[in-house]
A and B are shown apart, each in its own frame.
Chain A
């Protein structure tokens, strides 16, 4: 019988530790498929961050390093500057990238580091138990906003793709989701574009994936994806904000 679906070669057999229904597993797989399809697994170096994806290195078979909270873009910078021929990517959540790692991501983007950033935005800190993230929606209840996020006290959800897109150097900035099959296919294309640009030496690429956290949102996965479409996407609209190399048209 012909095998029509299997684990990407660049991924390991280790079962995901993620909660049932979490988008991390889906996005990991998309990264693995893209690395396989581009044929760059033997020269890819991943940078894991802190949060639920702290063990992302367990699921990929290529070289990996674990960074401190928020510092992955700086670590990726150090690696890429020494090994410009390698494919370097960071995989970061919203607590990691949009809060403690604000300085590192902005300046890696502004220098146009030739790395790829996969940014999972699920509007909450997952690993530490569901605290407010910079991306938490106004009114959203979390462990540290039990009465809902009050914009007068905590400000508004921060839109990182838009911020990155104000800079001149980044080559590709896009926001996707994996909540429907159609969005998932677009997300796959975006991640592949991002790695393709890096392979071509064309500069900094940034893919934000608007995601769910069924456990800390207190919602079943299907319900969470529905909630994402109704509540997250109006605040974090999908689409490409920068494509200076025109890869989406290519």
Chain B
């Protein structure tokens, strides 16, 4: 086991990316993720990699598109307004079925907003964000250890499914320092992807072409259904297959009369709330989605048979709550409590909401 060290979340992601075999980073400065590019600007040249500060987020994501097309492990990182700019390129990357990892250290929006932590990019992250029929895999870590681990997993998933994978965090997680066990370096060979531009091995069908244009409607329809069949395979792997460990964390849900649902930094607060509830005789539990797409709908549907109600807590005006409602399908009440604009709810506030629901008098 590698040594246990103290790291900032943003830096843990950067180092884990290097350990995963990522040698190419293209990005544009934006707060609150600045430690990440700064770390890689120093680190990548040490491993003969490339750190390039692009002219814009649009430039950066298109460099990622080009680099991913060669089969390399490549990453870009940004924060909310910057990720909006990257959506154009992300749509092309998804359409071209290219693997890459994108990190969004979410800040308060809409507009220029502020640089405080938020979860208000849930819709943008899970609903595609860019144009067209496509999906992005979205992982939501809640600790520095998980940021490192999920970064490695994100690169593996990107290659396995030839799809962009997004790590969704917030300013608290990015800036937080915690001890972390860094994983062992991955043995990654970029020259094994036979579809890649410049692939040095023997070619089966002549040249390699990465194109996202299908002028004939029937051909684009065929391509889109092909993508959706892939997304079905991804969903299946998360809900019942070998990726279930990445899908969700359930905490004290078996006897719970109320299940709190939250992801990322909120889930750390919810755990405290669960303990405080239980001390006061309220049987509370927590369900934390670790993967936001595919969403852990199956477990939520199962829990809706057991529990009495759900309370969804987000640092937004209510975005993930829609997915919870879809999963619960009207079988039990789904309540919502949110703080937005860069504010983080306290355990006390959430406890108050639980009280209102469980003990309405």
Q: Please tell me if the beta carbons of B56 and A103 are within 8 angstroms of each other in the complex.
A: yes
A47 interface residue per 8 A CB criterion = yes
| B155 nearest CB across to chain A (Å) | 15
A129 interface residue per 8 A CB criterion = no
Per-residue CB contact flags for chain A residues 64-100 toward chain B (1 = under 8 Å, else 0) read: 1111100100111111111100100000000000000
A140 interface residue per 8 A CB criterion = no
Which are the 6 A-B pairs with shortest beta-carbon distances?
A: A78-B66, A74-B62, A78-B67, A107-B55, A78-B63, A75-B66
| A129 nearest CB across to chain B (Å) | 16
A71 partner, pick from B24, B62, B197, B206, beta carbons under 8 A: B62
| B237 nearest CB across to chain A (Å) | 28
Q: What residues of A have a CB within 8 angstroms of the CB of B63 in the complex?
A: 74-75, 77-78, 81
With A43-B198, A68-B88, A74-B66 given, is the CB distance from A54 to B56 under 8 Å? no
Interface residue SS majority, chain B = mixed
Docked pose: A111 CA to B26 CA in angstroms: 14
A104 interface residue per 8 A CB criterion = yes
Among B62, B69, B208, B211, the most chain A Cβ lie within 10 Å of the Cβ of B62
| B331 nearest CB across to chain A (Å) | 44
Chain A interface residue count, CB cutoff 8 Å, equals: 32
Among A55, A74, A76, the most chain B Cβ lie within 10 Å of the Cβ of A74
| A166 nearest CB across to chain B (Å) | 16
A57 interface residue per 8 A CB criterion = yes
Q: Please tell me if the beta carbons of B66 and A66 are within 8 angstroms of each other in the complex.
A: no
Apart from A68-B88, A78-B64, what are 4 other A-B pairs with CB-CB below 8 Å? Answer: A66-B210, A71-B59, A75-B65, A77-B66
Q: What's the A-B contact tally at a CB cutoff of 8 Å?
A: 116
Q: Please tell me if the beta carbons of A78 and B206 are within 8 angstroms of each other in the complex.
A: no
Docked pose: A81 CA to B63 CA in angstroms: 9
| B24 nearest CB across to chain A (Å) | 6
Among B52, B208, B211, the most chain A Cβ lie within 10 Å of the Cβ of B211
List residues of B whose CB falls within 8 A of some A CB. Answer: 24, 26, 50, 52, 54-56, 58-60, 62-70, 72, 74, 88-89, 92, 96, 190, 197-198, 206-213
Query: Can you offer 17 A-B residue contacts whose CB atoms are under 8 A?
Result: A54-B213, A57-B211, A65-B210, A66-B212, A74-B54, A75-B63, A75-B69, A77-B52, A78-B67, A78-B69, A79-B69, A80-B66, A82-B72, A82-B190, A83-B198, A104-B55, A107-B54
Q: What residues of A have a CB within 8 angstroms of the CB of B69 in the complex?
A: 65, 75, 78-79
